[in-house]
Amino acid sequence: MTQVPCYTIINSPDLEVPNEMQLKQELEKGDTNVKIETLKKVIKLMLNGERYPGLIMTIIRFVLPVQNHMIKKLLLIFWEIVPKTSADGKLLQEMILVCDAYRKDLQHPNEFLRGSTLRFLCKLKEPELLEPLMPAIRACLDHRHSYVRRNAVLAIFTIYKNFDWLVPDGPELIASFLDTQQDMSCKRNAFLMLLHADQERALNFLASCIDQVQSFGDILQLVIVELIYKVCHANPAERSRFIRCIYNLLNSSSNAVRYESAGTLITLSLAPTAIKAAAGCYIELIVKESDNNVKLIVLDRLIAMKENENMEKVMQDLVMDVLRVLAAPDIEVRRKTLALAMDLVYSRNINEMIQVLQKEVAKTHNVEHEDTGKYRQLLVRTLHTCSIKFPDVASSVIPVLVEFLSDTNELAAVDVLIFIREAIQKFPALRGLIIKHLIEAFPQIKSSKIHRAAVWILGEYVEGEQIPEVIAAIQQTLGEIPMVDAEQRRLTGDQTEEQLQQQQQQQGTSGGHEPTTNSSNKVTSDGTYATQSAYSLAPVTKKEKRPPLRQYLMDGDFFFGAALSATLTKLALRYVELVTDARMVNRLTTQVMLIMSSILHLGKSGFPTKPITYDDSDRIMICLRTLSERTPEAVGVFMHDCRDALSKMLDAQSEEDQRMLKEKQRATAKVQPDSPVLFAQLSNGRDNQLGENVFESSLNQALAGTKTAQVNDMSSPNNKLNKVTQLTGFSDPVYAEAYVNVNQYDIVLDVLIVNQTNDTLQNCTLELATLGDLKLVERPHPVVLAPHDFCNIKANVKVSSTENGIIFGNIVYDTALNTNVVVLNTIHIDIMDYIIPASCTDTEFRQMWQDFEWENKVTVNTSFTDLHEYLKHLLKSTNMKCLTPEKALSGQCGFMAANMYAKSIFGENALANLSIEKPVDDPDSKVTGHIRIRAKSQGMALSLGDKISSSQKQSVQAA
């Protein structure tokens, strides 16, 4: 297959293979439609490896003379794929007739036939066929129709590139053609040929019309940009001659030209004006282009520019322009834009950025869209980062963020509280402002989770005169105390204190009118009065609006009640230290203890939907005992240890962020001391300030599949040998081994087949089949192997999801006596080739853990005796990243819990939770426990579990 040039690939399902006689009859005697269908069938069969040498003459005699356009198009594909040489490498005699037919087509009055024939000639690799056609091809350069002329130029270009002796005057011919042409597609093809065949002539043409470049069509402008790039990289002295042209093309009407010009400009010059012009062009493209994919691609280019230290300083002044991209509705575009702006912002423009973000926050109010909640969360996190990075703006950010606490979107509110918790600890000067806004927003909060965190922050940081104010706010949102009595009155229909207060407010607003009662008589269907007892009613039947904190308790959320008790205890203990008046202290303490005992009483009364748990009950009892006894140890825990724990956690997070930043900076080192010197760098000279070579980097990416891989890594023998799978035994008549190269979405199998016999093997065919989400793209062609000869056969397999796959098959060959089959060993495609480590926040991890429905639980069975060593082994074998901080895992306590996360190249997420233990007093005991894996798809969860099990078996066997 590697020796046969192939340009057209037609996918077809499994076909029934008809005999050659049947095909001949249909081609000879069938009408035009039958011939079309038969010709299609022949093309598909030949692409699938069938050979019909006897059909060539039949097609020449009965199909080639037909003037139907569909048949003409199909014949072009047929002559492209059909073998044109005999076994000894000589051209088939029949092809002379074909050549004559195509000479006539090149002189046909129909311009479509001429143009499509010229396109076909670009694909021919036989100079014997092309030589007689050269006069006709040259004549097509003067055809009246541009379609014929532009394809004639392409035909001359490819012929000159492959067989320059057929058109020795090709560049002169095309240069004179270029001077006389007005059609842009013809000029583009002619200029493209000069670019590759004779750069000097191309430069002369460009120099002659450099002032008119902006008036050219976009297809020609793109080729001009490519020429300038190549010339300036090869000869940097030419930059001053052409860089003005690139600047002008930044204002082209075509977005593609502007994109390419901006990319070329920053590789040719690192001057601040060039960087600013290129970045501004990119930003304009993102803002004006409607396609999200284009926005993301151009954003990636901006992010790549930011990674360059020289460019980053210049781009810092463009932060406000970057923020214009937030007008795009796509959440991914907004996420990348905010991250880029956050990296570029500095002290001079932080205030302007904060104003823009505040306006964006205001725009999200009362907007119903599926991504609005996520966008608000992004804005909150960005404002949070701004405030920590630039403390001076925190005072203006806090009032905006506190408004989110009353938001129905819990995700944004959680992020606000995380910010408030960090800000109140790190910026003592802002505590008064934060507490004030938090107390104001407290009654409007709608979620128990948010209320619980807000209560903790108030309990930890409120001091002085604000303590009674906070307790009053809590009591107001909790409702009437004792709660059980209030709930009983509510059930019996009596008025509670809250209802009385509401009535008094209504009277005040209605100007002293008579109060109206809500009592109603109960009348049965026959007209008689009925009586009702409060004790016969279920507590949940009467759904009435209660204060928010009371509602949480009535819904059975007594964990909130325990958190509230701890907060009230802290406030009371701090008040005891602050106030010397014993009566005031006792009054506040008894008030707090009454609230706690009321929560306990309510939990056991039967009114809530769920009773209080023993854990919550014990915690509230500890709070009551601490307030009544006030032992120094308990007071120390409530007053100091909680805040110390938060401080340590924030310090650990900060250290982790700093460590990640250092690792990132270390990873982006330009050149290592032991790196080999690339001659491409030497050829440009040391004074040359050019950026990266785009063509070289794109070649690296195409060969390696990822940006991080290098070409020399891919070609290193050690790397290749690691992926070689032996398919047959050494004593088999045919030896085979395969090199498995996984390249993102497809797998290339390079199979070496060795004939170990003294016989010639005819029709030696590699037959493959797949299991899992793998699909064989094409069937490998049969080969003939001489005695003790060898050959390489390549097969492509398409991958569609992250699962372990299996490729199996056999080798079939014919000898002089019979047909033989050698069964191959199976090739296992490893899931690790698709998985890359990734990171996410704890909140995102929990959310995904909750959403993903497929779980696989793997029991730990290993010879490891150290918990940390087992975790390292697991991370190495699964390619996952540990999200649990190093400090949380340090030390030896007999057990370990860690969260791990990875992403596949298809965008699938894989989560894992490790829970392992071993007795501390027995150093030789083995690690035990289990690993829970969660993923969105069943295949991902099962495949990852299989990988962990197999790695455990290998470690046990090695031990």
- Other C-beta atoms within 10 Å of 138: how many? 15
pLDDT higher than threshold 60 for residue 732: yes
pLDDT at 505: 54
Choose the final residue of a domain: 644, 659, 680: 644
What average pLDDT does the segment 150-173 reach?
Answer: 88
Q: Are residues 847 and 825 in the same domain?
A: no
Q: Are residues 616 and 761 in the same domain?
A: no
Cα dihedral sign, 932-933-936-941:
negative
Q: Are residues 817 and 837 in the same domain?
A: no
Residue 741: domain span? 722-829
Rg (CA), the chain: 39
Contact status, residue 941 vs residue 913, Cβ threshold 8 Å: no
Q: Are residues 748 and 789 in the same domain?
A: yes
For residues 298 and 799, give the distance between their C-alpha atoms in angstroms, rounded to a whole number.
28
What average pLDDT does the segment 52-67 reach?
Answer: 84
Q: Are residues 886 and 946 in the same domain?
A: yes
The set of long-range contacts for 401-406, using a CB threshold of 8 Å and a minimum separation of 24, is 402/434, 402/437, 402/438, 402/440, 402/441, 403/441, 404/376, 404/380, 405/438, 405/441, 405/444, 405/445, 405/450, 405/454, 406/441, 406/444, 406/445, 406/446
Q: Are residues 571 and 447 in the same domain?
A: yes
Query: At residue 71, what is the residue type?
Result: I
Q: Are residues 865 and 905 in the same domain?
A: yes
For residues 621 and 21, give the distance between their C-alpha atoms in angstroms, rounded to a whole number.
96
Q: Are residues 792 and 839 in the same domain?
A: no
Q: Compute CA distances 475 → 462, 560, 584, 594, whole Å.
A: 16, 14, 17, 11
Q: Are residues 456 and 560 in the same domain?
A: yes
Complete edge-to-edge strand list for the sheet that includes strand 790-799: 724-726, 734-743, 746-755, 790-799, 774-776
Confidence of residue 164 (pLDDT cuts 50, 70, 90): confident
For the segment 844-863, what is each residue's pLDDT rounded down to a tens digit?
888 889 888 889 998 988 88
pLDDT at 358: 83
- Phi, psi at 750, each rounded to 5°: -100, 100
Strand, helix or coil for residue 174: helix
For the segment 553-598, what is each residue's pLDDT rounded down to a tens digit?
888 888 888 888 888 888 888 888 888 888 888 888 888 888 888 8
Tokens of 624: 């009551």
pLDDT at 957: 61
Q: Are residues 923 and 825 in the same domain?
A: no
pLDDT higher than threshold 50 for residue 717: no
For residues 410 and 374, give the distance between their C-alpha atoms in angstroms, rounded to a whole number.
10
Strand, helix or coil for residue 29: helix
For residues 513 and 569, give the distance between their C-alpha atoms in angstroms, rounded to a whole number.
44
Assessment of whether the complete model's pTM goes beyond 0.85: no
Q: Within a domain: residue 113? A: no
Q: What is the mean pLDDT of the chain?
A: 79
Q: Are residues 635 and 737 in the same domain?
A: no
Q: Are residues 811 and 740 in the same domain?
A: yes
Structurally, how many domains does the chain consist of? 3
Query: At residue 896, what is the residue type?
Result: M
Choose the final residue of a domain: 644, 660, 682: 644
Q: Which of 480-494, 616-630, 861-875 has the lowest mean pLDDT?
A: 480-494
Residue pointed to by tokens 């996410």: 840
- Phi, psi at 447, each rounded to 5°: -120, 140
Q: Within a domain: residue 5? A: no
Q: Within a domain: residue 931? A: yes
Choose the final residue of a domain: 829, 846, 865: 829
Tokens of 271: 């001057």
